[in-house]
Copies of this chain bind each other. A is one copy, B any other.
Amino acid sequence: MSPLLPLPVTAADRDSCAATDILRRVGEKWSVLILALLAERPYGFNELDRTVEPVSRRILTRTLRTLEADGLISRSETPERVRYALTPLGRSLLPLIVALGEWAAEHADEIGAARA
């Protein structure tokens, strides 16, 4: 066993697998989108709310809190507004997400064909 990576095969591992963990995190509905937006510049809360569009404020809040708790984004208050920004850790994750996005774009037709 023990494949190419720190991947969990036994029951004992299954909750402690870093790869699965982070994959589930970025698999959450709005995470990647938020990270991609913050890659360009910091955003305020309502600004994110408007830009991400059909997300509810409840979910946006929770997603931001989670990303913050993981150290991927930072939240700072200024007198005028709250400011969400990427942390260095979050920024280091970007290339991988970008690569996955490119892979998905390249093979979108193959996947579409397979589904039909």
A residues with CB within 8 A of B: 1, 3-11, 14, 18-29, 32-33, 36-37, 39-40, 51-54, 69-71, 89, 92-94, 96-105, 107-108, 110-111, 113-115
Chain A interface mostly = helix
The 8 A-B pairs of least Cβ separation, nearest first, read: A27-B27, A71-B114, A19-B101, A18-B104, A3-B36, A5-B101, A22-B104, A11-B54
Assess the B107–A103 pair: CB atoms within 8 A: no
Assess the B3–A37 pair: CB atoms within 8 A: yes
Assess the B96–A39 pair: CB atoms within 8 A: no
- Complex contacts, A6 vs chain B, CB 8 Å: 101, 104-105
Assess the A9–B51 pair: CB atoms within 8 A: yes
A41 shortest CB reach to chain B, Å: 10
Once A53-B10, A103-B92, A114-B70 are accepted as A-B contacts, the answer to whether A32 and B20 lie under 8 Å apart by CB is: yes
A-B contact pairs, 8 of them (CB 8 A): A7-B101, A9-B53, A19-B105, A20-B32, A22-B111, A23-B100, A71-B115, A89-B110
